[in-house]
Amino acid sequence: MASFDIVIIGGGSAGYVAAIRCAQLGFSTACVDEYLGKDGGFALGGTCVNAGCVSSKALLDSSSKYHRLKYRLANHGISVEGVGLDLHQMVSRKDNIVRNLAQNIESQFKKHNVSWYKGHGSLVDPIHIKITPPEGMGPEETIKGSNIILATGSSPNDLPTVKVDGNKILDSAHALDFQEVPKRLGIIGSGVIGVELGSVWKRLGSEVVLLEAMDKFLSFTDEEIAAYAHGTFTSQGLEIHMNARVISAKANDRLVSVNYEDDDGHHTLEVDKLLVAVGRRPHTEGLNLDDIGVLTDEAGDILVDAHCRTNVPHIYAIGDVVRGPMLAHKGSEEGIMVAERLAGAQTSVNYDAIPWVIYTSPEIAWVGETEKELKAGAREYKIGRFSLKSNIRALAMDDHEGMVKLISDKQTDEILGVHIIAPTASELVAEAVVAMEYNASAEDIARIVHAHPTLAESIREAALAIDGRSIHG
């Protein structure tokens, strides 16, 4: 029986990063992963690389280029005739990116001597892991780990009244591989996955309708930013229905009929494809957690302390299977933290400074607390706002939809939250994350020289606006 210092179950963003860092630190390391790629073979990288973050961003970028070429370049004096869409090539490009990234992870495993075991991993006891490949893809075996890290990720949530069939009624992975652009696409859920994939197919020509059961759009974001986004996305042509509770969905050879209720009564929506995007849940099925005594909460999250230790000695859990946001970078950082703590370091993750991003157009990104959260905590604060309509670079780019909202403590001026809706907000937010890691004040940002003209100046202008000193706002 093979024996290792550390065995990681799961080869996604949390698991493969943990495996590489463990190996770098000199531990004998194995990673057990069961993910099957689009071609039916084993593939490292989990959902993020193979059917999530990477895939959707590739299609978002391609669809954005197509939409800009077809509709937005005339104002720049650029005329293009006969713009065509080769969806097969667009999806093939996405698949090539995914394949290359998965192969790169495999190369990193070989470089660092990480042993890759292919199949479903389950706990036999606190130190033994049984590996069961799919039928016909290898023998069952058992390995031993002095320490075990659980990193099995998450799965799409189901709706009891809507059955995903992979043909007409789809989950997020299916919606990355359409063979043709649906004339009419229905999406249940207007969270991150819903608005991102809705944006992809709207740009490519679909009529997109989102049905959201909650009464607030993007309720997990700052309310002011969410309201701005709602107006922007609506103006782009996304049809968003709030308080829309889906009762049933039935598919035939041509269409999907969706029955739902909202404040105005009962409605029937007919679409060519229906995407179910109602969040994700921890994927812990088949790990045998109950038999081993690893505790979980009502939501299915594995219970861990601040350093991702479970209640069972030498068993850790990271990423989407534990508390906190289901973000790839959060899981990766937890993997690094656990690896380094096993090596004797005192590494930790600052959960108060984890950036969030929604890759729409404009992008939405934020770090820290929202205004609503600060009000609930009775904390006094100040706000600085700056519109991109006053940013020279944004005007030059003809991409000036958006704003920056910076919140600081009323007494100390420490930055408490930064909320951005803007082009490349995913990149702009990094400045705010660094600032908050160092407990910076709004005045610190206001005093830093920013290159001109840049979008990043908007963050400085928002910091200046805290005290009514914005130059261009």
Instruction: Count Cβ atoms below 10 Å from residue 50 Cβ, excluding itself.
Output: 24
**Is there a catalytic annotation at residue 452?**
yes
Work out the burial of residue 268: count CB atoms within 10 Å of its CB; fewer than 13 is exposed, 13-18 middle, 19 or more buried. exposed
What CA–CA distance (Å, rounded) separates 60 from 80?
21
DSSP 243-301: T-EEEEEEE-SS-EEEEEEETTEEEEEEESEEEE---EEE--TTS-HHHHT--B-TTSP
DSSP 419-443: EEEETTHHHHHHHHHHHHHTT-BHH
Residue linked to tokens 């049905």? 211
**The token pair that represents 25 in the structure block:** 């630190």
Q: In sequence order, what E strands does 283-388 have?
A: 315-317, 356-358, 363-368, 381-387
The residue from 120, 419, 452, 472 that is catalytic is: 452
**The token pair that represents 385 in the structure block:** 């706002």
Per DSSP, helices labelled H in 38-159 are 46-51, 53-67, 87-111
Do the Cβ atoms of 428 and 458 come closer than 8 Å?
Answer: yes
Q: What is the dihedral of CA 150, 154, 159, 160, to 10 degrees?
A: -20
Q: Which residues are catalytic?
A: 452
